[in-house]
Amino acid sequence: MIKFTPILLAVLYGLVMYRFSIWRTKRELDDRSTELVDPMLNTLLARMAAALEIDRIRVYLYEIDPVNGLAAPDGRIFITRGFYYKFRQGEVSADEMASVIAHELGHVALGHARRRMIDFSGQNALRTALAMVLSRFIPGIGVWIANGLTTLLAARLSRSDEYEADAYAAALLTKAGIGLTPQISLFEKLEELTRSRAGALPAWLMSHPKTQDRIAALKALQDRWDGISKV
């Protein structure tokens, strides 16, 4: 039992830190966000709500400059002021903004926030266990290797979540009569919008899949659905 104590402590530490992160994030979002009210977007939100058979989809405007959308652990959907500014400037269409919201709804519906709490705790335990074992054989760099391996695992799990949320959004947008075209077109301009330098990193080190891989997955999904509809 004593041998497993560091691992158990790592699990508990992961749970505590994740809960603290949720609390801190909620406080930040509460302080810097208001409900988004935009007639053009509200029309599309109403169509998606009808497709989901719910009364309303609430989206909040998060007052920060980076271009991003996010799903909070409490289930709220946020669009950053920077992203909304791109929409108001005409760089992003209303349908493309709807695709972002649909993607974040996917994270909520698929329980990714709850799953990440479990993943985070498990990764913390794995990091500790690996560090204990590797440090016996390669002192000095065992901890570094353990951190690297668990970082790769976390990135892989995150990329899986993104693909799942993309597929959910594609299904919702199709059911709402919006279609996959704006979802794909947004991806095609996303790196320019965010001025991302992620393309310089290997795909397996990124927390999000490569943009072209996401586009390819959506097109394959569309082809599969088209094939089914023709049967």
Amino acid in position 142:
G
Task: Tell me, yes or no, whether 178 lies in a domain.
Answer: yes
b vs e for 54-78, b when ≥16 Cβ sit within 10 Å of the residue's Cβ?
eeebebbbbeeeebbbbbbbeebbb
Tell me the three state secondary structure of residue 80: strand
Enter the tokens of residue 205.
């080190």
Alpha-carbon distances, residue 28 vs 31, 34, 76, 180 (angstroms): 5, 12, 13, 33
Most distant pair of Cα atoms in the chain: their distance: 63
Query: pLDDT tens string for the chain (231 positions)?
Result: 445 565 566 556 556 666 666 677 788 888 999 999 999 999 999 999 999 999 999 999 999 999 999 988 788 999 999 999 999 999 999 999 999 999 999 999 998 766 665 555 555 555 666 566 556 666 766 565 656 556 655 555 567 888 999 999 999 999 999 999 999 999 998 877 776 444 444 444 455 678 899 999 999 999 999 877 655
Task: Tell me, yes or no, whether 28 lies in a domain.
Answer: no
Kindly give the pairing relationship between strand 59-62 and strand 77-80: parallel
Task: Tell me, yes or no, whether 27 lies in a domain.
Answer: no
Task: Tell me, yes or no, whether 196 lies in a domain.
Answer: yes
Tell me the three state secondary structure of residue 2: coil
d(CA 217, CA 119): 25
Enter the tokens of residue 221.
């999904």
Global pTM value:
0.73
Per the structure, the complete domain to which residue 44 belongs is given by 5-22+33-230
d(CA 32, CA 188): 30
Total structural domains in the chain? 1
